[in-house]
Structure 1
């Protein structure tokens, strides 16, 4: 039986600014990654999003990022491993405090922190040590085949290898940078075909046509994508039509 976790990055509104269709998307996925106030969100949004996720019965994950509201956490920052460790502990603890059980389902780094860690073993180790400090049984969601996967194994925390339905891949297995025109896939049908390929073949076709092997434990569709709701609804239907079971990691 083939199964997959479907996750989405949510809770990214802030103050008067509303982003995404969180309430609708939460009903369609199996786990969510909730912003913790550094790249987006605020305490009220965090509380509201956690409540929606608990009501829907989906896995609640912390989505810590760099302290960069203006850049939405997508700008690289040069921090020491100790600074990164403390940054992650702070955000994970903040979101955990809003849960009724005081327990989280997982942690998924956000944006530049996620992408930098995917290529940087030492940075990944700092993130994994932070997670282990909070809860040694707490899984990290990491880019499939990345340095973060290797670091999680070395530090000794669970790891879900993640693929991206609405992002294109480079030949080295990393995501095409958002600064490039072909980074994001917005057509719901194309996204679904992309995911089916990754789940059923455990590989992905890169932008140069090469085939990259990978392990797909969880698939992410971004909540801030303009077509997010249509993409998630069509993806869920397509996965079910292909006899792929949706289940939290």
Structure 2
């Protein structure tokens, strides 16, 4: 075992979850059940999900459980849950970010110009705010941009998603893109916490250097998985 592996094993992996995704009378997620087991709550900012009352209640719930609060912004796309790309100019993206305080997740990972715009917008709002990005097989370009603009980056991995060889998430349209078995989700979480490689969709190994771990808390199975992951991560730190 080399020194780098030992460092990965003792590093605390923060557990984060998307929260506050209800809208009006439409209820989404299991926030109250999941909140006691996580470290960070990514609260929807009202464009893809959420509303003022939901945001207020979710913030209060996070404070009650001493959970760190983060923004989960998106394109103004309620019908598509923020997952459909939109042709926005750099100025429009800056306005979206400053209005919501956050990032357009998938497109900024795919397009360096959008990532630069997002980083500049975060720095202009508050350079002390960290920006959460998807951990991939090679984060060097994103890290270089973060260092250049002066924004701290938190690289995020997913316990319940399948990965490609490049360390990107598999399309939800593909089989096995989302793990529903709590045992499989916990196993992947532990591999990530230990700094071990995951098996990509093509059978190759992919190594992700993540500082935070995301699981989705929008069904009863996810609640069980989050609880088991919290227990497993705590046991790993105490070992």
TM-score by length of 1: 0.86
Query: What is the count of residue pairs matched by the alignment?
Result: 227
Distance 1:57 1:237 in 2: 17
Q: Is 1:211 matched up with 2:202?
A: no
Q: What is residue 121 of structure 1 aligned with on the other side?
A: 112
Q: What is residue 76 of structure 1 aligned with on the other side?
A: 85
Distance 2:59 2:83 in 1: 23
The CA deviation at 1:241 is: 2.5
Q: What is residue 67 of structure 1 aligned with on the other side?
A: 76
Alpha-carbon contact 1:202-1:215 (below 8 Å) kept: no
The CA deviation at 1:43 is: 0.5
Alpha-carbon contact 1:143-1:149 (below 8 Å) kept: no
Q: What is residue 86 of structure 1 aligned with on the other side?
A: 95
- Of 139, 153, 178, the residue aligned with 1:184 is 178
- Of 128, 144, 148, the residue aligned with 1:137 is 128
Cα distance per residue 1:149-176 (max 9 Å; x no partner): 4432332101111100011101111100
The CA deviation at 1:226 is: 5.3
Distance 1:244 1:193 in 2: 18
Query: SS at the partner of 2:170?
Result: coil
Evaluate the alpha carbon distance shift between residue 244 and residue 62 of structure 1 in structure 2; reply closer, same or farther with a 3 A threshold.
Answer: farther
Alpha-carbon contact 1:149-1:161 (below 8 Å) kept: no
Q: Is 1:227 matched up with 2:236?
A: no
Evaluate the alpha carbon distance shift between residue 85 and residue 148 of structure 1 in structure 2; reply closer, same or farther with a 3 A threshold.
Answer: farther
Alpha-carbon contact 2:195-2:209 (below 8 Å) kept: no
Query: SS at the partner of 1:131?
Result: helix
Cα distance per residue 1:194-242 (max 9 Å; x no partner): 1111221253221112112221100000122552211101111122222
Q: 5+ residue gaps in structure 1?
A: 93-106
Evaluate the alpha carbon distance shift between residue 211 and residue 138 of structure 1 in structure 2; reply closer, same or farther with a 3 A threshold.
Answer: same
Q: How does 1:11-22 map to 2 (within 5 A)?
A: 11-22=20-31
Report which of the two structures shows the higher radius of gyration computed on alpha carbons: 2
The CA deviation at 1:67 is: 0.4
Evaluate the alpha carbon distance shift between residue 90 and residue 202 of structure 1 in structure 2; reply closer, same or farther with a 3 A threshold.
Answer: farther
Q: Is 1:201 matched up with 2:201?
A: no
Alpha-carbon contact 1:186-1:225 (below 8 Å) kept: no
Q: 5+ residue gaps in structure 2?
A: 1-9
Root mean square deviation of aligned Cα: 1.7
Query: SS at the partner of 2:37?
Result: coil
